[in-house]
Amino acid sequence: MSLLRSESMHLYQFTCFKDNAPKAMLKFGALDCIQFIDLNKREQSFNLVYGKEIKRCEETLRNLQILIQESSAWKIPMTTPKTIQELEKALTKIQAKPGQTNSAIFDDIEEEIRKCREWKEETMKSYYETKKDLVSLVLMREVYKMGREKYRLAARIGEVRGDGNSSKDMLKEPLLDQNVSGYYAAISIANIAGVVGKEDSIRLRRLVFRATRGKAIVITQDVSAEILREEGILAPKTMYLIIFQKGDFIHQRLTTICESFNSEKYDLPEPEESQNIISELTSNISKIREVIITMNAEIKEFFWSINQIPNSSLSRFMIYQSFIRRELAIHNTLNKLVPINSLIHGFFWSPLPNRKIQENIQLIQSEHRFPGLQALELMEEDVSNGHKLIPPTKIRSNDFIEPFQQIVNTYGVPGYKEVNPAYFTIITFPFLFGVMFGDIGHGLLLFLFSAYLCLRNDHISSDSFLSYFLPARYLLLLMGFFSTFCGLCYNDMMSIPLGLFGDSCYSKIYEVTIQECVYPIGIDPTWYTSSFSITFINSMKMKLSVIIAVAHMALGICMKALNAIHFKSKLDFYFEFLPQIVLLLALFGYMDLLIILKWLSNYSGEEHMAPSIINTMINIPLKGAMIEGYPFIDSIEKNQQISLTLLLIAIICIPLMLIPKPFILINALQHDKDQTDIISFQDPNREGQEESYHRLYDEDETQGNPIGDTRQGNEEEKRMREESPKNESNFSRDSEIDKLMKKISLISEDNSPSHTASEIFIHQLIETIEFVLGTISNTASYLRLWALSLAHSQLAEVFFELVLWSGVKAQNPIMIFIGFMVFATASFAVLMCMDLMECFLHTLRLHWVEFQNKFYKGNGTLFAPLNFRSCITEIAQLN
C-alpha cells in the first residue's frame, strides 16, 4: 500500500541564531529533504527581514543575465557547473581572500558585475554608434553612386523645362533649330535622395505622385544583398531619388513626406564633385571599419578574459549565476521564518524520521560549531490550534513512472496520503488509448519508435528533435504495445484483416458455419468481407466500450473505499462508497451482465426473438421491466423480478448518499462549537509549549557550547550570549511566542476553512446529483472508445482502397509508386500524428473526468524541499 500513497512527513520546529541561519540553510539545502513552512505569507515582501538581500540578488541576477547574453552573442563558451561540489570548488578559486564568507563573496561579485555592466554599456554604446555611422556612410555612398549614374538621365527625361515649354514639343522641332545649351540652362530642377525600407518604397511612390500630381520623378533602387549582409543590416533597404522642379512649396511637401517614413535623407553633390566625395566616403568607411575591427577584438578579449578561471573549464559568469541563485534560494527560505530577538524560529516538513534529523544536526554542529541549532519533532495538533495542518505530498518517482505522474499532477497533485492514481494509469491509460488506436501496423510503428528512444536514450543529443520525446518514451512504448495488442484482437492491420491462424470458421465453399469452431485470436477475418461487417464490428466495439466503462469507473469508486479506510472516515465508506458502488453495479453492472448473457446465447434461426438490451434497460423504469423477446435468465417473470429489485436498490442508494452524511457532519459541527464555547481561551497544551520555548531561551542564555570547548567556540558563544536579551521580561517573551503560534495557526486555518450547515448540505446535494447524473453521462462518454476506433479503421480503409489499392489494380508501376508515397504520407500525417494526438486527448479526458472524479481530490501540494541542485539544473536548461 505504500506505493499507492505519498511518503510520511514529519513536522519539526527549527531554532537557530540569526547569524548562523544562512550557514544552516546552506547545509540543509544539501540534504534535499527539508521544506520550510512559510510563516510570513501574509506579510508584505518589503517588510520581511531578508527583503533587501533578495532585491540585491535579483538585481545582480538581471545584470548578470545581460552580461551572459552579451557573452553568448560574442561566441564565448559558457560552461555551467554540474554539481554543488564543482560549484564549491570553483568558488574557492575565485575568492579574493581564502575563507571568505558567502556574504563577502556576494559583495565582491555584486561589485564586479556592476563594473562589468557599466563598462559593457559604455563600450557597447560607443561600438553600436560607430557601426551606425558606418552604415550611414555606406548607404550615403550608395545613394551618391546612384545619383551620379541617374541624375543626367533623370534631367533629360524631365517633362518640364525652365521656359515653360514641354520637352515633347522640342522633339518636334528641327534638330538644327534647337538651342541645346539654352534648353539645359533654362531647366531649374531640385532633388531629394535617401533610403527607406523596401516595404515602404511603393507607398513613397504613391504619396509623391499624389502630392505633386505627377510633377516629380521617383527613381528607386534596392541596396544590394551583399552590402546588407556585410553591414549586418537585417531589413531590406531601397534607395530613392526624387527629381522635381525647384519650388519652396513642393520642396517642403516632399520633405514632409520623406520624414514621415523616418528615412535617411542626403544632399546630392554636384555631378562634377560627386566622384571626389565618393572617394572621400570610401576612405572614411575604411577607417571606421578598422576602428570596428579593433573594438571587436577588445570587446571579445574582455568577455573572454573575464570568463576564464585558472585551471578550470567553467565560465566565471555561470559560476556567479549558480552562486547567486543559491543565495537567493537561501534568503527566500529565511524569509519564511520568524525572527525573535537574536533567534530565528520556524517549522519544516521532512520525510526523514527524528533520528536521522538529529544525526544531521549533530553532524552540522560538529563540523561548523553552530550554537543554538535545534530541530524538535512536533505533533501537528501541538501547533495547529485544532485546525488541520496539511503536509506536502512527496511521491517516489523514476523515469518510467514520471510521465504517468505528470498526467495526474496536471489535473491536480494528490493530497497527503491520498491514493495516487498514477500507478493505475500506467496500465489503464495506454490500454484505453490502444482500444481507440488499435491497429497492428500503426501500433507496431509507434512501439518500434518508442523502443528506439528507450534503447538509445543516452546517445540522443539534447539538441536533437527526438529529445522532446525522451521524457515520455516509456508512455509511448506502452501505448504502442497496447495498440498492437488491440489491433491483433481486432485482426486489423492498416484496414487489412490477417488470416494468421489458417482457415476461417466459415466455409467459403458451402457457405456454412463450422460448428464448435472458435477463431484462436481476434475477430474472424471473414467478417471483414461480409455484408454485415460494419454492423457486427460496431456492435461488438460499442458493447466492449460499455463493459470497460463500468470496470474503469468501479475501480475509481473502490479507490474511494481505500481512502476512506486509510483516513478512518466511516461516513465516506458507509454513505458514499457503498451506495455509489451498489448504484453503479445495479444499473450498468446489470447491463454488462445482460451483454455477456446475450453473447453466450445462440439465437440462430430465431434472430428476431433476440432481446434488445437498450430496450430492456429503458423498459425497466417505464414498462415494469418488460422484455421484448426471449428472456435473458430462465423466465420473463424472473427477469422482471431481478430488474425491478435492482432498480429499487439503486433508488434507495440515492437518499443514502444525500441525507445521512450532511446531518451527521452538521451535528458534529454543532458539538464542536459547544465545546469551543465551554473551553477557556487557555489551551491545555499551552503551558507545555510555553515551557518548551522558555527552555530554548534559557539554554541560549546560559548553556555553553554543547560540542566543543575550544577558545574559538567559547568566544563565539560569548558574543552570541551578549547579543541575546538577558533582561527581557517574561511579558515580552510571551508576546513573541504568541506571535509565532499565531502565524502557524493562521496557516492551519487556511488549510481548514470553516463551513456552515447550509454549505455542507448544498455541497452534498451537488455531489449526489453529480454522481447520479454522471453515472449515466460518464458511461455514455466511454462510447468514444468505439467511435475513435471506428474512425481510425475507416480512415485507414479509405487511404488503402482509394490511394494504394487503386494503383495496384491498375497494374501500373508508376501508379503503384505514387500511390504508395501518397498512402505513406497520408497515413503518417493523419493517422500517426493527428489521430494519435486525438486518441491521446480523449484518453486523457476519460482519466481526468470519468475515472478520477469518482475518488480523486487532487488538492495537495508537491513537496518542494530546499534544493540547490535544481538551481544548477535550471541554469543549464536556460542556457
Name the residue type at position 10: H
Owning domain of residue 321: 50-138+288-334
Alpha helices of 463-532 — where are they, by DSSP H?
Answer: 473-490
Please indicate whether residue 744 or residue 722 has the higher confidence score (pLDDT).
Answer: 744
Please indicate whether residue 816 or residue 671 has the higher confidence score (pLDDT).
Answer: 816
Residue 229: pLDDT band with limits 50, 70, 90: confident
With respect to residue 764, please indicate whether it lies within any of the assigned structural domains: yes
The pLDDT of residue 750 is above 80: no
pLDDT value at residue 711: 39
871 and 740 part of one domain: yes
Please indicate whether residue 262 or residue 585 has the higher confidence score (pLDDT).
Answer: 585
The helix or strand, by DSSP H or E, that contains position 506, with its residue range, turns out to be: strand 506-507
DSSP 3-state percent helix, strand, coil across the chain (nearest 5):
65, 10, 25
With respect to residue 590, please indicate whether it lies within any of the assigned structural domains: yes
Residue 177: pLDDT band with limits 50, 70, 90: very low
pLDDT value at residue 478: 97
Please indicate whether residue 530 or residue 848 has the higher confidence score (pLDDT).
Answer: 848
Which residues, listed in sequence order, are joined to residue 242 by a DSSP beta bridge? 192, 218
Question: Where would I find the beta strands (DSSP E) of 152-294?
Answer: 189-197, 216-222, 237-245, 264-266
pLDDT (tens digit per residue) in 306-359: 888 877 788 889 889 989 999 999 999 999 998 888 889 899 999 999 899 898
Please indicate whether residue 728 or residue 618 has the higher confidence score (pLDDT).
Answer: 618
pLDDT value at residue 687: 44
| Contact between 7 and 712 (Cβ < 8 Å) | no
574 and 607 part of one domain: yes
pLDDT value at residue 501: 74
The pLDDT of residue 151 is above 80: no
Tell me how far apart the alpha carbons of residues 871 and 329 are, in angstroms, rounded to a whole number: 8
Span 552-560, average pLDDT: 96
User: Residue 59, SS3?
Assistant: helix
**Structural domains of the chain, count:** 4
For 516, which DSSP code? T
Among the ranges given (169-183, 226-240, 471-485, 542-556), the one the predictor scored with the smallest mean pLDDT: 169-183
Residue 752: pLDDT band with limits 50, 70, 90: low
pLDDT (tens digit per residue) in 711-734: 344 454 445 444 444 444 444 445
Please indicate whether residue 502 or residue 446 has the higher confidence score (pLDDT).
Answer: 446
Residue 692: pLDDT band with limits 50, 70, 90: very low
Please indicate whether residue 359 or residue 873 has the higher confidence score (pLDDT).
Answer: 359
Residue of 554, 559, 407 whose CA lies nearest to 478: 407
Residue 514: pLDDT band with limits 50, 70, 90: low
Residue 509: pLDDT band with limits 50, 70, 90: low
The pLDDT of residue 483 is above 90: yes
Q: Which domain-ending residue is among 217, 234, 268?
A: 268
Please indicate whether residue 514 or residue 483 has the higher confidence score (pLDDT).
Answer: 483
742 and 868 part of one domain: yes
Q: What CATH number is given to the structural domain containing 252?
A: 3.30.70.2750
| Joined grid coordinates for residue 129 | 554608434
Which range scores top for mean pLDDT: 190-199, 697-706, 752-761, 836-845? Answer: 836-845
pLDDT value at residue 627: 83
Tell me how far apart the alpha carbons of residues 630 and 612 are, in angstroms, rounded to a whole number: 10
pLDDT value at residue 682: 39
Which range scores top for mean pLDDT: 271-280, 667-676, 745-754? Answer: 271-280
Span 820-834, average pLDDT: 92
Residues contacting residue 361 through CB under 8 Å, at least 6 positions apart: 373, 374, 375
pLDDT value at residue 681: 35
Q: Which domain-ending residue is among 769, 797, 831?
A: 769
Please indicate whether residue 371 or residue 649 has the higher confidence score (pLDDT).
Answer: 649
Residue 743: pLDDT band with limits 50, 70, 90: low
- In the chain, the percentage of residues whose pLDDT exceeds 70 is 83
With respect to residue 225, please indicate whether it lies within any of the assigned structural domains: yes
69 and 89 part of one domain: yes
With respect to residue 64, please indicate whether it lies within any of the assigned structural domains: yes
Tell me how far apart the alpha carbons of residues 806 and 817 are, in angstroms, rounded to a whole number: 11
299 and 239 part of one domain: no
The pLDDT of residue 222 is above 80: yes
117 and 213 part of one domain: no
Residue 693: pLDDT band with limits 50, 70, 90: very low
Residues contacting residue 258 through CB under 8 Å, at least 6 positions apart: 192, 194, 196, 204, 242, 265
Residue of 413, 410, 429, 555 whose CA lies nearest to 846: 429
The pLDDT of residue 120 is above 70: yes
**Average model confidence (pLDDT) across the chain:** 82
635 and 760 part of one domain: yes
Span 514-526, average pLDDT: 77
The pLDDT of residue 659 is above 60: yes
pLDDT value at residue 588: 94
With respect to residue 762, please indicate whether it lies within any of the assigned structural domains: yes
pLDDT value at residue 754: 60
Which range scores top for mean pLDDT: 61-75, 132-146, 839-853? Answer: 839-853
The pLDDT of residue 467 is above 50: yes
Tell me how far apart the alpha carbons of residues 788 and 311 are, in angstroms, rounded to a whole number: 61
763 and 646 part of one domain: yes
pLDDT value at residue 606: 78
617 and 628 part of one domain: yes
pLDDT value at residue 216: 84
Residue 159: pLDDT band with limits 50, 70, 90: very low
The pLDDT of residue 239 is above 50: yes
pLDDT value at residue 168: 45
The pLDDT of residue 170 is above 50: no
25 and 85 part of one domain: no
pLDDT (tens digit per residue) in 27-85: 898 888 999 999 888 888 778 888 899 999 999 999 999 999 999 888 888 888 887 78
For 508, which DSSP code? T
Q: Scanning the structure block, which residue is given the C-alpha cell 448544498?
A: 762
Residue 495: pLDDT band with limits 50, 70, 90: confident
The pLDDT of residue 707 is above 50: no
Span 419-445, average pLDDT: 95
Burial of residue 117, with CB atoms counted within 10 A of its CB: 0-12 exposed, 13-18 middle, 19 or more buried: middle
- In the chain, the percentage of residues whose pLDDT exceeds 90 is 37
Question: Where would I find the beta strands (DSSP E) of 246-311?
Answer: 264-266
| Contact between 11 and 347 (Cβ < 8 Å) | yes
With respect to residue 239, please indicate whether it lies within any of the assigned structural domains: yes
643 and 558 part of one domain: yes
pLDDT value at residue 736: 58
pLDDT value at residue 596: 93
DSSP track, 321-340: HHHHHHHHHHHHHHTTSEEE
Tell me how far apart the alpha carbons of residues 736 and 383 are, in angstroms, rounded to a whole number: 15
pLDDT value at residue 382: 59
Span 449-472, average pLDDT: 89
pLDDT (tens digit per residue) in 767-794: 999 999 999 999 999 999 999 999 999 9
Q: Which domain-ending residue is among 240, 268, 296?
A: 268
Among the ranges given (86-100, 287-301, 360-374, 730-744), the one the predictor scored with the smallest mean pLDDT: 730-744
546 and 653 part of one domain: yes
With respect to residue 354, please indicate whether it lies within any of the assigned structural domains: yes
With respect to residue 75, please indicate whether it lies within any of the assigned structural domains: yes
pLDDT value at residue 568: 92
